[in-house]
Structure 1
Amino acid sequence: MHQSYTRRITSGSDIERTTFFSDAVFAIAMTLVAVDIKIPQVPGNEMGRAVAEQWPEFAAYLLSFAVAGTYWLSHHRLFRLLKGFTAGLQRLNLVLLFFIGLLGYATDMLAFHSDRAIGVVIYAATLGFIGAANTSLWLYAGRRRMFKEDVDPRLITYARVRAPVTPAVFLVSIPVAFINPVAGIVTWLAIPLVDMGLRLWGSKLPDAVQADD
């Protein structure tokens, strides 16, 4: 009786509450990244220069929004393909949202300390852990056979190959940043290059895979 009750409350086919909650956390985190950019408190004739000097903050915001948006798209696509949830899936999802909540802090560290290893490392680690948690969701769902029956297995293979790219690059950049912070940031340019290669590979796969991209 207890096991039956436990299974009923920790698993099922209704994933709407999980997706709604996740979307809310993503939205709040991505909004707070912009909120942290403050209007310069300077005389009017100095405003142009003061705004121009904020370019590191705007650059960090642009990067964070783009990467977080990519992770949200991956998360959205994953849950669109699932036929249900389990307690394990929800726990992994909470781990992902935990690191998403740190996005604002990590962005500020990069914006104000991009010339120091600590700023680059904290940012790379946060984005890397977000990506690792997202990848874990895909791998978990695959191992537990949680995808809908009509999902092309090649689509899952493509997604599981693509998901680890961004977190892997961010995590690899950490030791590089300890040697040279600027070199650590430059390492991130590998993300669009590798992603472009995977897109070309995906374009040769069935239409179902291309549509998901």
Structure 2
Amino acid sequence: MAFSDAIFAIIITLLVLDLRVPDVPPGRILSGLLNQWPSYVAYLASYSYVAVVWLNHKAAFNRIQQVDRGLHWMNLFVLFSTALLPFPTSVVSHALQEHNNTDQRVAIAFYAAIGALLCVTWLAFYHYLARNPDLLKDQAKDDFFAVERVRAIAGVALYILAGIVGYLVAPLIGLVIFVLLPIFYAITSAGLYQLRVTRRITHRRPPPP
């Protein structure tokens, strides 16, 4: 876990390096900062995504009692795809500031491809744990990771949708989806399974006297 946390810290640090002092004449610093709004949006989307990946990573490993070689590889695949995020973030930020529609469409599609790849690695991670319940703590063996695969599949589908819409229709629509997706994963960071259990307990709770 310490190794994974260090990787997440490095990734978040790399994201902020794309935020630079604008190269403008004296007296134009305000307009220069305002014109860099795509950098801020791209940073917000990617920072939120990395933060949510970290929360999901914590939630997953809190349910794991031992790690084998296969799980180490699954974890490395998740870290590999997460570590790619600063690159498409920089590409999107640059393309939006250059105001070239073709480049913007390609940049959004590229970011969507990396986002979908990250969700695929999570799908593999969850699938591996669902198939190896002996690695899990007792309270996590009742279909938690089998259900979590739904979240990963939803992420793949939504990132592909964002890439298609951003490329064929309007890049900013894809960018909005990129910002909204981490919100979904933040709300469900404890897992869809946990939401189901909480809802079931709430429904069974007797009414107050």
When normalised by structure 2's length, the TM-score is 0.77
Matches within 5 A, 1:43-192: 43-114=25-96, 115=101, 116-145=104-133, 146-151=135-140, 153=142, 155-180=144-169, 181-188=171-178, 191=181
Query: Share of identical aligned residues, percent?
Result: 27
Q: RMSD in angstroms over aligned alpha carbons?
A: 2.7
Q: Per the alignment, do residues 189 and 26 of structure 1 end up closer, same or farther by CA in structure 2, a change over 3 Å counting? A: closer
Q: Per the alignment, do residues 204 and 131 of structure 1 end up closer, same or farther by CA in structure 2, a change over 3 Å counting? A: same
- Structure-2 residue corresponding to 1:41: 23
The gaps in structure 1 that reach 5 residues or longer are 1-18, 208-213
Judge which range, 117-126 or 181-190, deviates more: 181-190
Contact between 2:130 and 2:143, CA under 8 Å: does it hold in 1?
no
Could you tell me how far apart the structure 1 residues matched to 2:11 and 2:108 are?
A: 19
1:81 aligned counterpart, secondary structure: coil
Could you tell me how far apart the structure 1 residues matched to 2:139 and 2:68 are?
A: 20
The gaps in structure 2 that reach 5 residues or longer are 203-209
When normalised by structure 1's length, the TM-score is 0.76
- Structure-2 residue corresponding to 1:9: none
Q: Which has the higher contact order (CA 8 A, sep 6+)?
A: 2
Contact between 2:4 and 2:79, CA under 8 Å: does it hold in 1?
yes
TM-aligned CA deviation for residue 184 of structure 1: 3.2
Could you tell me how far apart the structure 2 residues matched to 1:189 and 1:34 are?
A: 16
Contact between 1:71 and 1:131, CA under 8 Å: does it hold in 2?
no
